Amino acid sequence: MLKGFKDFILRGNVIELAIAVVIGSAFTALVAAFTTNIINPVIAAAGGMNADGLGFKIWENNPATFINFGAVLTALVTFVITAAVVYFIFVAPMNKINSLVKSRLATEEPEEEPIPADTALLAEIRDLLKDAAAARNAGQAAGPGTDFTSDPTR
């Protein structure tokens, strides 16, 4: 079990995973800054004069009862931006690379060339002669007096 863990560590996957986490954290910070400083003010402006954003309070005197639709929209925008970047920067190029690699690694089977008509005819004659010789040999093996031919003069 420890050998498998050692192989996993030394294979390089851990380094790639660490890089992915660092890049993901930096990208999350970038998207969070974008949504907080650009998207949230636009959503709050659409919500009206209330500075709390797009939403309403269930009880006017209790700020803890504020239902914030703006935060949900911000999270949705953040998700869509993150998913789009991941797809267009990582997934689509990797799919393209994988399809190119598979097409180059695929072994093409050579197409069988059609047999020329004269060769096919000669092969058919050969097979018929083999069958006739086999039938004659079977007739001789049956013993004297046995005639397998249709010629009564023989």
pLDDT in tens, 138-149: 876 555 555 555
- pLDDT band at residue 128 under the 50/70/90 scheme: very high
Residue 150 has pLDDT above 90, yes or no: no
> In the chain, which residue ranges form alpha helices assigned H by DSSP?
2-11, 13-34, 40-46, 69-86, 92-105, 117-141
* Site of tokens 């949230």: 40
Q: Which domain holds residue 61?
A: 2-101
62 domain residue, yes or no: yes
151 domain residue, yes or no: no
Phi, psi at residue 62, to the nearest 5°? -115, 105
Q: Which amino acid is at 1?
A: M
Q: How far apart are CA 44 and CA 48, in angstroms?
A: 7
48 domain residue, yes or no: yes
110 domain residue, yes or no: no
DSSP 9: H
* H or E, element range at 57: strand 55-57
Q: What is the overall mean pLDDT for the chain? A: 76
Give the CATH number of the domain where residue 52 resides: 1.10.1200.120
Average pLDDT over residues 129-139: 88
Number of domains within the chain: 1
Average pLDDT over residues 95-105: 83
128 domain residue, yes or no: no
For the segment 101-113, what is each residue's pLDDT rounded down to a tens digit? 888 877 666 677 8
For the segment 6-56, what is each residue's pLDDT rounded down to a tens digit? 776 666 666 677 777 877 787 888 888 887 787 777 776 776 555 566 777
Q: How far apart are CA 101 and CA 87, in angstroms?
A: 20
Q: How far apart are CA 67 and CA 55, in angstroms?
A: 5
72 domain residue, yes or no: yes
